[in-house]
Amino acid sequence: MKKKVLEDLNVKNKKVLVRVDFNVPVKNGVITDDNRIIQALPTINYLIEEDAKIILFSHLGRIKTKEDKQNNSLSVVAKRLSELLDKEINFVPETRGEKLETAINNMKAKDIVMVENTRFEDLDGKKESKNNPELGKYWASLGDVFVNDAFGTAHRSHASNVGIATRLETAAGFLMEKEIRYIGTTVENPEKPFIAILGGAKVSDKIGVIENLLKISDKVLIGGGMAYTFMKALGYNIGDSIVENDKLDLAKSLIDNSEGKLILPVDIVVAEEFSEDADYRVTKYKNIKPNETGMDIGPDTIKQFKKHLKGAKTVVWNGPVGVFEFENFAKGTKAVCEILAKMKNTKTIIGGGDSAAAAIQMGYKDDFTHISTGGGASLQFLEGKELPGIESIDDSVDCDCDDSNCDC
């Protein structure tokens, strides 16, 4: 998969539209995790150095009511970006119209304009998230070229990514390029042995991912809430643990057709209530009591995972293996972080979402080859699906022709 990248574009004095993913968590008007903003800085700094006029587009949160609009303005993000760049950001609290157009037309090289939350266009008719052609055409008219650096929305066909890309010369930003290189290459041609670790609550969220990874990996290690559906499908007692009873036949089928690649926990940490301070114990499945809930993988499972991971050249991890938000039940997830952090000759990739949040929260941010910024996008990539946001980026042109008149 070869796509046009940022350095392929001529951006000097050009109005460069950039789709970034600044969908960051905000509580009481304060950003609680600015990782996605930080990840976009290389692309923005490059454009500043190349004398571009930079127009930033992003969404923030879900916009269904007027109250949502009040609580999800990108103004707080513009302020944080200004601090990180040590540079003024011209935030325009509009998604279209004369005020926005004037701000863009008055730009000089190295200036940055940030457009208000693109999802504000969804309040009256889903214009953004339904890739309204009129909206995509309007936004494209504001610039000369387009850079898509928002992997977190790559699995969606929206006006602010696909809608603009179909009307302008389009390249991948540095973050998007990195996501394609690490996750895309792993799916297409992983260096073996290739081990996948999957956690999270539901089998149904990752059916396609499990099926695809069983085809291309050497082992798939299962933890988290989804493990209990698999264990019940095998006839084990799971107490009061989370389970998808309508997916038991599917889980059994995945196990039967896995050729021994699917590895399930051998012991678990259980508690009688879902709380941080609950009393807990480690047990085998056969000894779980009816009123006990599985909260984490146990020490024997950690040892088993470590054994299977030994010697791996590629590891992809998506989904925590326990209730990592509670300290007493974060030991399994932390152990996975520690094991992967010590695998220095292995390509280690976290596929976004809660596993990425856990790794960063636990202090392992710099110990992985790549931590993806897109949960849903990562899942679809791992599933082997085409992502509209990536497909709409122009293909690169490889040309070995020495003829100056050659236009291959």
- Dihedral angle, C-alpha 305, 308, 314, 316, nearest 10 °: -30
Report residue 320's pLDDT band, with 50, 70 and 90 as the boundaries: very high
pLDDT tens string 20-56: 999 999 999 999 989 899 999 999 999 999 999 999 9
Where does the pLDDT of residue 1 fall: very low under 50, low under 70, confident under 90, or very high at 90 and above?
low
DSSP 394: P
Extract the tokens encoding 195. Answer: 């081990």
CA dihedral 340, 37, 145, 386 (to 10 degrees): 40
pLDDT tens digits along 111-127: 999 999 999 999 878 89
CA distances (Å), 112 to each of 50, 93, 105, 143, 159, in order? 13, 14, 12, 13, 21
Kindly list the catalytic residues. Answer: 36, 202, 353, 376
Domains in the chain (CATH in brackets) are 6-177 (3.40.50.1260), 190-384 (3.40.50.1260)
The per-residue pLDDT of the chain, averaged, comes to 93
pTM as predicted: 0.88
